[in-house]
Amino acid sequence: MSETSERLPAGVERRSIEGRSRLATRGEPVYGEPTADGWRTWDPNRSKLGAMIELGMDHGLVGDETVLYLGAAAGTTVSHVADFAGPTYAVEFAARPARDLLSAAETRDRLIPLLKDARRPETYGHVVEADVDAIIQDVATRGQAAVAVRNARFLAPDGRLLLAVKARSEDVTDAPAAVFERTLDRLRDRYEIRETERLDPYHEDHLGVIATLR
């Protein structure tokens, strides 16, 4: 049975799969996730956005959004997003995971892979439509805030940034709390921070951030 008390986007439900209540979307499986009756488990241990939803963060997603996903990797999370959202632009630079991303897109008309570097939005600005409803970012690199700031050009005035900050990608020597604060300070050049929450126990040394344009 699905639950309606949670703030879940249309197309995302909590379903009983393998005897447990789990977040799920409808679509072809991508990473060997358990399925039942056409629903595929959305594993928060493998998805930063899934963890943000599980933790009750105010993600603002309602379903059918236009999404720019930065750091799509092999398509684990972005495939779930494309299951419930509208056009979903998936940016990934590394060739090896991009092959899996292309495979995930074969059964998803709304998933648009872009083999580009999220640090250089000018290289895909001619493809991504203006005023996307949400930017979802999971880029494991230094300068994660800079990536979000550079891509703010695509976000609608009332859109949201859903960012997962990986402390160890920024600085392996400094305390995660200090890394997070520096990242938030840089984000404030372009965004207003609405909510933050550590993504434990699903992802160690990660911070979930919800922000809107300033």
Domain with 124, as residue range(s), is 48-213
Q: Is residue 70 part of a domain?
A: yes
Q: In the sheet that 88-91 helps form, which strands lie side by side, from edge to edge? A: 111-114, 88-91, 67-70, 132-137, 155-166, 206-213, 191-198
Residues 173-193: tens digit of each pLDDT: 999 999 999 999 999 999 999
28 appears as a binding residue in the annotation: no
The pLDDT of residue 76 is above 70: yes
The pLDDT of residue 4 is above 90: no
Q: Is residue 176 part of a domain?
A: yes
Q: Is residue 26 part of a domain?
A: no
Residues 123-152: tens digit of each pLDDT: 999 999 889 999 999 999 999 999 999 999
Q: Which amino acid is residue 138, in one-letter code?
A: D
Alpha carbon distances (Å) from 37 to 12, 125, 178, 184: 14, 38, 45, 41
State residue 188's pLDDT score: 97
pTM metric for this prediction: 0.95
117 appears as a binding residue in the annotation: yes
Calculate the average pLDDT of the chain: 95
Q: Is residue 192 part of a domain?
A: yes
Of 86, 72, 93, the closest CA to residue 30 belongs to 72
Q: Is residue 33 part of a domain?
A: no
Q: Are 88 and 112 a contacting pair, CB within 8 Å?
A: yes
92 appears as a binding residue in the annotation: yes
81 appears as a binding residue in the annotation: no
Of 78, 42, 46, 81, the closest CA to residue 61 belongs to 81
CA distance 181 to 198: 12
35 appears as a binding residue in the annotation: no
140 appears as a binding residue in the annotation: yes
185 appears as a binding residue in the annotation: no
Q: What's the structural domain count of the chain?
A: 1
Number of H helices, E strands in the chain: 6, 11
Q: Kindly report the CATH number assigned to the domain that includes residue 109.
A: 3.40.50.150
Q: Is residue 95 part of a domain?
A: yes
Of 52, 77, 80, 211, the closest CA to residue 144 belongs to 211
Q: Are 207 and 164 a contacting pair, CB within 8 Å?
A: yes
139 appears as a binding residue in the annotation: yes
